[in-house]
Structure 1
Amino acid sequence: MGETNVSTREGRTAAGTSPLEAEGTRPAGSFVRRLRTPRRPRIWYELALIAVSYWLYSLVRNAVPEQRAAAMQNADWIWQAEQAIGLAFERGVNQAVNSVTWLVVGMNYYYATLHFIVTIAVLVWLYRRHPGRYAAMRTVLFVTTGLALVGFYFFPLAPPRLLEGGGFVDTVLVHQTWGSMASGDLKHMTNQYAAMPSMHIGWSLWCGLALFTLARVPWVRVLAVLYPLVTLVVIIATANHFWLDAIGGLLCLAAALAVTHLWYGRAPHRMGAVRGRPEGARGTARATTADPQRIGQAAAAESARPAFEDEPAGR
């Protein structure tokens, strides 16, 4: 009886835990593995994280020196480069849309509101419907935004509506609508020369990616494709961005996806489900306790078990 107890303890130590874990000290690798393993997010932690992150984003974005001369010079350079390659179509779109009052007013409100509303709605949807994928998708959004701050600092850029002699129309001022914080009475509350990259495009592409890869309802997936496309038209029609700013937003998202893939070891939408310990695993644990000879086999099987399993999209 005593021999059985001794071999059981020795088997558990050898197969199940390291000596450090047996003494109550977790190795650094287990902490990192826990961070990379899907688990149910905590609502208050996530709300606090989002609030603090957005506050820091706004603080850093607005603290970047506006550098008007450099911003105007960069805008003029981009405009000339687009003309040189024959893709300087922003002014034509801006003036055409400006001639249709109801359309341009709707675009002004679209630009001012949906950027935040849709992004928050998708975050809530991920939190409720895909908790195992929420942390990875949220990380993509945060890294995308962080990379944008780097662009704001090193490449100040004036939007087309501020380009002197460019012939662009500031649709918010002309139609006296509440819109971009960089126009009208709110222009002193934000950095007007942080147009590259476009986070309207970066965030809308993130929303579209999340919905298209995880939603199962066809019309939702259609909206997921249309949303960033319509956003692209809006930012150009309202003269808030060059189309090259949209390319910058796309590149930020692509880099964020790559970083997140390296950290988690797979694409965010392929992260696993949040599940409790399977019944089979508990049964195996009881069986190995009763039968010391199976300890090694059970430990090997447990180590071969993936850290998480894929959850069918939409569930």
Structure 2
Amino acid sequence: MVRWMWLFKQVAYVVSAVAAYFGIRGATEGSVDAAVEHAHLIVEWEKSLGIYVEQTMQGPFIEHAHLATLANWVYIWGHWPVIVVTLVWTGVHHRDVFLRLRNAMLVSGLLGMALFVTYPVAPPRLSGLGFMDSVTETSYSYRVLQPPAFVDQYAAMPSLHAGWNLLVGIAIVSASTSLALRAFGVIMPAFMAVAVVVTGNHFILDVLVGLSLALVGQVASRALERRRDTRPVERVSA
């Protein structure tokens, strides 16, 4: 009973945090003109770094419908459904991994929201650069999972879609003894990093920053874990 009460409290805590994340993200939608301008600046930065390859990457997915469908499925069903299942699984069977994942998501989410508010960025599909919006054009499922009222369409920087999937992958690899699950934990974040780009939702720099913030969250979560583990246990007097 105690274990399930603990899990219920954790679920309530995570749901509240996610609701706050979407609420703040939707309520702080930045200026469209500024977001588009920032997107064009990101393109210039990527060109100077030699990594502006988004249109080249998206080309095959525009030409072949089955590839676009695969990318859409990874983007839609490989994110929140996988996150929820992983949180429940680790919460029930691997409490330490659950707490590590939860804290890493909270830290990186707070950092991400700070960027959403202060530096709005239009995604490639809304930047006027000729990118295809494969998810919105061909799938209704995503609007069910993430209603437009709760989504800031001009919060492409950073890509927590990629960052949080990296954290989930780390959690799966840490908790599982199954070779298949461990392989999924490694492959899934890589697939997501590609999917967010080829569906026209993020620039490569968005992905790199999202992955970096996720790793910052992971380091912070590990530090909190070490602090908790080294905290002296109070002795109960007889």
Equivalent positions of 1:219-230 (< 5 A) are 219-230=180-191
Distance 1:53 1:213, change over 3 A: same
With normalisation by structure 2, the TM-score equals 0.87
Distance 1:69 1:180, change over 3 A: farther
Given that 1:108 and 1:178 are in contact with CA atoms closer than 8 Å, whether structure 2 keeps it comes out as no
Partner of 1:50: 14
For 1:86 and 1:133, how far apart are their aligned partners in 2? 38
Distance 1:261 1:89, change over 3 A: same
For 1:188 and 1:134, how far apart are their aligned partners in 2? 29
Residue 208 (structure 1) aligned with residue 172 (structure 2): no
Q: CA deviation at 1:180?
A: 4.6
For 1:134 and 1:264, how far apart are their aligned partners in 2? 11
Partner of 1:177: 139
Q: Return structure 1 stretches of 4+ with deviation > 6 angstroms.
A: none
Given that 2:134 and 2:199 are in contact with CA atoms closer than 8 Å, whether structure 1 keeps it comes out as yes
Given that 2:54 and 2:203 are in contact with CA atoms closer than 8 Å, whether structure 1 keeps it comes out as yes
Identify unmatched segments of 5+ residues in structure 1.
Answer: 1-38, 273-284, 290-315
**Which of 138, 143, 153 is 2:117 aligned to?**
153
Q: CA deviation at 1:188?
A: 5.4
Amino acid in the other structure paired with 1:45: K
Distance 1:68 1:113, change over 3 A: same
Identify unmatched segments of 5+ residues in structure 2.
Answer: 231-236
Amino acid in the other structure paired with 1:46: Q
| 1:66-97 superposed Cα distances (whole Å, 9 cap, x missing partner) | 21111111100111111222211101111221
Equivalent positions of 1:241-252 (< 5 A) are 241-252=202-213
Q: Which structure: greater helix fraction?
A: 2
Partner of 1:81: 45
| 1:91-127 superposed Cα distances (whole Å, 9 cap, x missing partner) | 1111221111122023223212221111011111111
Q: Give the 3-state SS of the residue equivalent to 1:195 in structure 2.
A: coil
Residue 265 (structure 1) aligned with residue 235 (structure 2): no
Residue 191 (structure 1) aligned with residue 155 (structure 2): no
Identity %: 27
Equivalent positions of 1:36-185 (< 5 A) are 42-164=6-128, 166-174=129-137, 176-178=138-140, 180-181=142-143
For 1:133 and 1:109, how far apart are their aligned partners in 2? 27
Given that 2:136 and 2:142 are in contact with CA atoms closer than 8 Å, whether structure 1 keeps it comes out as no
For 2:135 and 2:166, how far apart are their aligned partners in 1? 24
Task: Provide the aligned length of Structure 1 versus Structure 2.
Answer: 228
With normalisation by structure 1, the TM-score equals 0.66
| 1:27-56 superposed Cα distances (whole Å, 9 cap, x missing partner) | xxxxxxxxxxxx957122112112211111
| 1:220-277 superposed Cα distances (whole Å, 9 cap, x missing partner) | 11111100100011111101001111111112112212222332227x9xx79xxxxx
Distance 1:133 1:177, change over 3 A: closer
With a CA cutoff of 8 Å and minimum separation of 6, indicate the structure with the bigger relative contact order.
2
Amino acid in the other structure paired with 1:112: I
Given that 1:109 and 1:178 are in contact with CA atoms closer than 8 Å, whether structure 2 keeps it comes out as no
Computing the radius of gyration over CA atoms, which structure comes out larger, 1 or 2? 1
For 1:179 and 1:132, how far apart are their aligned partners in 2? 33
